[in-house]
Each structure stands twice: as structure tokens, then as C-alpha cells.
Amino acid sequence: MRIAYLDCFSGISGDMFLGALVDAGVPFELLQRTVVDLNLDAKLELLRVDRGGISAAKADVLIRGEKDLPREEFWAKKHACEAEHRRGPSHDDADKHGNAHEHEHNQGRGLKEILGIIATAPISETAKHTSSKIFEVLGRAEAKVHKVSIEDVHFHEAGAEDAIVDVVCAAVGAEAMKVQEIISSPVNVGGGTVACAHGVMPVPAPATLELLSGVPIYSGDIQKELVTPTGAAIAKVLVKRFASRPVMRTERIGYGAGSRDFAGHPNVLRISVGETLEAGTGAGEVSSAAVEEIAILEANLDDMNPQLVGYITELALSNGALDAFTAPVQMKKNRPGTLLTVLVQPEDEHKLRTLIFRESSTLGIRVRRERRYALPRHHESVSTKWGEIRMKVAVSNGTVSQYAPEYEDCRRIAAEQHLPLKTVMQEAIRQYLDQKNGQPR
């Protein structure tokens, strides 16, 4: 299986991820075109820099010809302006700071506006879906920290144009790598304190820590913020699992540089792209199926409203379950019951176990670990007369073995166009087969 592995020994940010993508072979021109298509008066620049003796690519987003301030500097300056304002600045200073604050406020964008920008961008449906999901997890984290609805979230730097560029280019670049899975090491979040919207806070900042919930993190020797909210959201959405480096044959390596240069510590994000090898295979034998350990949670339910069972399965899937399903069973005293089965990554076991206890009436949950063989799969987009639809494609021994249209894409189009769902799905399959066989569409 073709994968990308992230070494987050110096954290992750949006610009670090973009630099690593380009250094690993993603065409810089692709990202430049994406920035132009966003129509944000933005520009993407790429430099070669040295970070602790490592040559790395440094991606910078320029908005109206200027680089945006790093988050810590932005909030430190803003808090200083507010403190000076409270002390009673001169009329000229008040006007200057007032204009600065108005400019900062105008840069903020709500989630609805950002999703609108993404929806109208001329990028693939897969990239739109990924970009939107990244901003949605950012919004949920901010909403929880501020205890407001997601519609009322003010996105600090996450709503500024540079973050929109980072997120959309990350989605487009990740798709261009053509990997079936992105895996990451545990994440070094740094240490010390950081100036943010809430004042001076310990690292990681509140929204960043919320985004990294369930992710293995640690603090090393560097007492600076190493993970930004944008970087955390990108990792949360794009990374399939956080684990040690798998057995793989590396083909490409990329280094993306952070803004700071630490003595004795290369401030870079490293990405390795290649093929995984199944344990016991030779260097030339690429495994056709990835092997991973999963946790299986089971509970017998016999005293619940059946409507609640369906709700629990949906809730489990939305909270990171790999799969969730039910089966009818015969309980003691001949009572009909339901067997609930939830498949999760080992690191999500505690979260899903807690969810099942909270939402169901069960008094016990059985847990076991098993090996799962999963065929490599990826998304390909097909164009229909109603719009683009993502196809999920599975590969076995280098040959396409399974393909199916994404249900949510088909359901959306069926509802918008008032068409039978089966008609939309059949058309997506026809277009995919024509495209695969080289026939004109």
C-alpha cells in the first residue's frame, strides 16, 4: 500500500506541511494555481532554508503582499495595544489602534463564509470535502473552548486568508501525493507558554489541545509552541492513525521548515512517501493488504428502545469508529436482543467505550484486539452531468478489485436534482468505467 509517513518530532503547522509536500514532489505550480483560484489576493512563496543543518522548503503565504504575523506575535501585539488603550492613549494612538483592531476584526471569517469560498473554488470534490472537514473540526474546537455555537465562532488566525490558503493547499497537495493512507508519529507540541486570544496560556493552547484530543502528544526540550491550530486540524483530518513508522520502502522524502530556527534541533516536518511491506516479505514484494491492529467492542442490548440503538451506531461512526453494526440475538429467558459491534483504532477504544456506556443501557462491554487486513483504497473523482462524484477504489496486487460511488455524494445530488438515488449511483459507475477504459465521456 502506498502511504505517507509524517515525522512530527518538531510539531506541525500549515506552512510546514505545505513545504514538506513540495519537497516530497508535489508540484509547487499546483499549489500556486490553487492560491490564485481562491481569489483571496494571496500569493504562495517557496524558499530553501537551513534548519539545524537540514535543507528544507519554507512555504510562506503573502496576503496583499505581506506575510502574516505568527500567531504568538499577533496576539502579543494585540494584547499590548489593548493594555495601552486601557491606560488612555493619545487621540492619534487611539485612532491608530482602533483602525488596527478594525482591520483584525475584518480579517476574521465565520465558518459559513469559509465553506462558501471552498465550495466555489475550482478544485476536486475530494479536496473540497477535505478542506471543509478541516475547517469544521477547527470550528468545533473553537466553539467548545469559547462555549459558543459553531455559527458564532470568530476564527482568530484560522479565519484569516493565510489559513484558508494553508488548509485548501494541504488538501489539494495531499490528494496529489496519490497515497492511500497518511500515518504520523506521536506529535511534539513543545512547551512553555504562548500568547493567544485568552491571554498567556501554557502550551499547547486551548484550541490546539482540543484538536489533539485522542492524539498521542508529548513535550520535548524546546519550550516554544510547535503545533498551531491549523496544523493540528490538518493532522486530525488527514492522518489515518498515529503510530511508529511501519515497515516500508521509502521512495521520496520531503522536509518542510518552520519559521523559527532552534539551536541543536532541526525545526522541520519530515514526510516519507513509499510502499508498505508486509512482515516477512522481501524488499521487492509489496504487500497487497495493510495489516493493522484494531479493537472490537461488543455489547448485548435487550432493554432499549430500538430507535436509540440506531442513534448509537451513528454516534459511534461520527466519533471515529471504523465501523459499527448490529445483529439480532436471542438473550437469556428467550428475550430478543441486539448485538452491537463497534470497530475502532486502539487509541480510540476508551472514547468509544465511554460513549457506549453513556448512551446505552448495557452494564458490560467486551473488548478484544484483532488483526485486520485492509486493501489499499483511494478516491477518484468522476464528472457527471449533475456534478463531480467521488469513487472509492480498492486495489489488490496492483489491480483494481472493487469500486463504488461515495454514498453521501450520490445522496446529495439525488436530493438536489430530485432523482432516484440508484440512477445517480449507476451513472457514476458508468462514467468511472468509461474513464477507466479510455472511452470518451
255 falls within a domain:
yes
Q: Which long-range contacts (CB under 8 A, 24 or more apart) does 146-149 make?
A: none
CATH code of residue 295: 3.30.70.1380
Report pLDDT for 48.
97
Q: Per-residue pLDDT averaged across 158-176, rounded? A: 88
Quick one: 269 and 326 in the same domain? no
Question: What average pLDDT is seen over the chain?
Answer: 86
* Confidence bin at 378 (pLDDT 50/70/90): confident
Report pLDDT for 412.
95
327 falls within a domain:
yes
Q: Of 333, 358, 374, which residue constitutes the final position of a domain?
A: 374
Q: Of 230, 248, 276, which residue constitutes the final position of a domain?
A: 276
Quick one: 319 and 407 in the same domain? no
Q: Which domain holds residue 197?
A: 2-65+111-276
170 falls within a domain:
yes
pTM to 2 decimal places:
0.64
Distances (CA, A) of 354 to 56, 319, 350, 365, 430: 43, 11, 6, 10, 43
Quick one: 326 and 383 in the same domain? no
Quick one: 185 and 136 in the same domain? yes
* Confidence bin at 156 (pLDDT 50/70/90): low
Q: Of 334, 356, 374, which residue constitutes the final position of a domain?
A: 374
Quick one: 199 and 254 in the same domain? yes
**In the sheet that 366-374 helps form, which strands lie side by side, from edge to edge?**
323-330, 336-344, 290-301, 366-374
Residue 242, φ and ψ in degrees, nearest 5: -110, 115
Report pLDDT for 72.
55
* Confidence bin at 92 (pLDDT 50/70/90): very low
Report pLDDT for 341.
97
Quick one: 30 and 156 in the same domain? yes
* Confidence bin at 99 (pLDDT 50/70/90): very low
Beta pairing, strands 199-202 & 217-218: unpaired
Residue 354, φ and ψ in degrees, nearest 5: -60, -40
Q: Which three cell numbers stand for residue 68?
A: 502574516
| One-letter identity of residue 255 | Y
* Confidence bin at 391 (pLDDT 50/70/90): very high
Q: Which three cell numbers stand for residue 271?
A: 514526510
Rg (CA), the chain: 24
Quick one: 13 and 35 in the same domain? yes
406 falls within a domain:
yes
> How do residues 289-302 score in pLDDT, each as one tens digit?
667 788 999 999 98
388 falls within a domain:
yes
197 falls within a domain:
yes
Quick one: 37 and 149 in the same domain? yes
What's the structural domain count of the chain? 3
The dihedral sign for the CA sequence 148, 152, 156, 159: positive
* Confidence bin at 90 (pLDDT 50/70/90): very low
Q: Which three cell numbers stand for residue 411?
A: 445522496
* Confidence bin at 440 (pLDDT 50/70/90): low
Q: Which three cell numbers stand for residue 199?
A: 491571554
The candidate with the shortest Cα–Cα distance to 19, out of 234, 245, 251, is 234
Q: What angle (nearest 5°) sits at the alpha carbon of residue 324, between those of residues 318 and 326? A: 135
Quick one: 261 and 298 in the same domain? no
84 falls within a domain:
no
Q: How far does Cα 87 stand from its chain's mean position? A: 43
CATH code of residue 399: 3.10.20.300
Quick one: 164 and 21 in the same domain? yes
82 falls within a domain:
no
Residue 126, φ and ψ in degrees, nearest 5: -65, -45
Quick one: 266 and 295 in the same domain? no
Quick one: 386 and 402 in the same domain? yes
| One-letter identity of residue 279 | A
